Amino acid sequence: MKILQNQSLLAWNTFHIDVQADIFAEYDNINELCTLLQRYNSLPMLHIGRGSNLLFTNNFNGIILHSNICFYHLNTQTEEEVLLEVGAGVVFDDFIRYAVEHDWGGAENLSYIPGEVGASAVQNIGAYGVEVKDIIHRVFTINRQTLEPRIFTNQECQYAYRDSIFKNEMKNQYIVTSVEFKLTKQPRLSLDYGNLRAALADIAKPDIADVRRTVTAIRQQKLPEVAELGSAGSFFKNPVIDKQHFDELRQLYPTIPHYPAPNGVKIPAAWLIEQCGWKGKTLGGAQVYDKQPLVIVNKNNATPKDIVTLADNISRSIKEKFSISIYPEVNYI
């Protein structure tokens, strides 16, 4: 276990915001986690993964927890599938590499997403037509107050687009310690998103390693490398509007991109942001990324205020032009 006082969080958020936490603690197992939860029960507490989906707006006057629970355990296997339990502190992309190396399919479309396994199950990360909920079987947690373990089935997690029970009614109540993934030994590739199938066209019979390589290459091309340029990936969620609103917009913008969604029509926020002229625009040190305007980058020592103000200005202009509300995907702390 590692406990540090007055710790800079610069290395712990991909936006590269230089704030401090009163205490930063990293634990290696569930016993250590319970010790920390008990000892620091009275302090404000924030559990982070790699800090790839948050924006620190201030110093954190409390304790930041980070999991170093890193293991792979094959819980069950049949002819068709495996149930693989992975520690919450494992880097998500390392888990995918491990799965692909064993020829277990299902996770490959999520390649190269920053973050860790525990956070993936809270956030329901997604890319290229797959969401992590599609491969999550069970989520192992500890109750912050009672220190009791609790296992959530996939259904109990109430997954939706970038959403789960851990962001709503159970917010701040449970800490994910490991996730059990259901992976298949006879992978069926999921290639229907965007240009994925076209990008694999040269390969006669692509396998999951090809998908992993291709998704990684597309992401590297379109999204900033966080080590070089701070960001938190997509800053906003893609909004869903009702059919009538969509029909009205399509009269005005016949080429408006859109996807079906359970409760309406999903519009790419990147398109809305580009239409409002934001691509490449800066405010202080913050910039709307020129290759993918859904991403805000820390171009030049951006302050949290630069980023928040830029995001607010973007939301406002989209509301004015399209009567659509967009909301941050990034959590403000």
Active-site residue list: 162, 234, 329
- Provide the mask over 108-127, with x wherever binding to ligand EPU is found by CB under 6 A and - wherever it is not: -------------------x
Question: How crowded is the C-beta side of 275, counted as CA atoms within 13 Å?
Answer: 20
Q: Which residue's entry shows tokens 């002229």?
A: 277
Q: Which member of 104, 140, 174, 271 binds ligand EPU (CB under 6 A)? A: 271
Which residue, 101, 126, 99, is CA-closest to 115?
126
Instruction: Classify residue 90 by its DSSP letter.
Output: S
Would you give the end-to-end CA distance of the chain in angstroms? Answer: 25
Beta bridge partners of 185: none
Q: How far apart are CA 6 and CA 267, in angstroms?
A: 43
Tell me if 237 contacts ligand EPU by CB under 6 A.
Answer: yes
Instruction: Pick between residue 81 and residue 106 the one whose CB is nearest to ligand EPU.
Output: 106
Restricting to residues 280-319, which ones interact with ligand EPU according to CB under 6 A?
Answer: 292-294
Q: How far is the CB of 76 from ligand EPU (least distance, A)?
A: 30
| R_g of the chain computed on alpha carbons | 20
Which residue pairs from 139-143 have beta carbons closer than 8 angstroms and sit at least 24 positions apart in sequence?
139/176, 139/179, 139/180, 140/85, 140/176, 140/177, 140/178, 140/179, 140/180, 141/174, 141/175, 141/176, 141/177, 142/30, 142/33, 142/34, 142/37, 142/174, 142/175, 142/177, 143/173, 143/174
In whole angstroms, give the CA distance from residue 289 to residue 332: 19
Q: How far is the CB of 269 from ligand EPU (least distance, A)?
A: 7
Residues making up the chain, counted from first to last: 333
For ligand EPU, the closer of residues 59 and 216 by Cβ is 216
Q: Does 268 bind ligand EPU (CB under 6 A)?
A: yes
Which of the residues 171 through 190 are near ligand EPU (CB under 6 A)? none
Task: Establish if 191 lies at the interface with ligand EPU (CB under 6 A).
Answer: no
Residue nearest to ligand EPU (CB): 233
Can residue 238 be called a binding residue for ligand EPU (CB under 6 A)?
yes
- Which residues does residue 140 pair with via DSSP β-bridges, in sequence order? 151, 178
When asked if residue 128 is in the footprint of ligand EPU (CB under 6 A), the reply is yes
User: Which single residue is written with the structure tokens 């997403």?
Assistant: 113
Among 118, 233, 239, 328, binds ligand EPU (CB under 6 A): 233
Interaction of residue 12 with ligand EPU, rule CB under 6 A: no
Number of residues that bind ligand EPU (CB under 6 A): 19
| Residue 258 makes contact with ligand EPU by CB under 6 A | no
- Is residue 270 a contact point for ligand EPU (CB under 6 A)? yes
Nearer to ligand EPU, 127 or 132 (CB): 127
Q: Which residues bind ligand EPU (CB under 6 A)?
A: 127-128, 193-194, 222-223, 233-234, 237-238, 257, 268, 270-271, 274, 292-294, 329
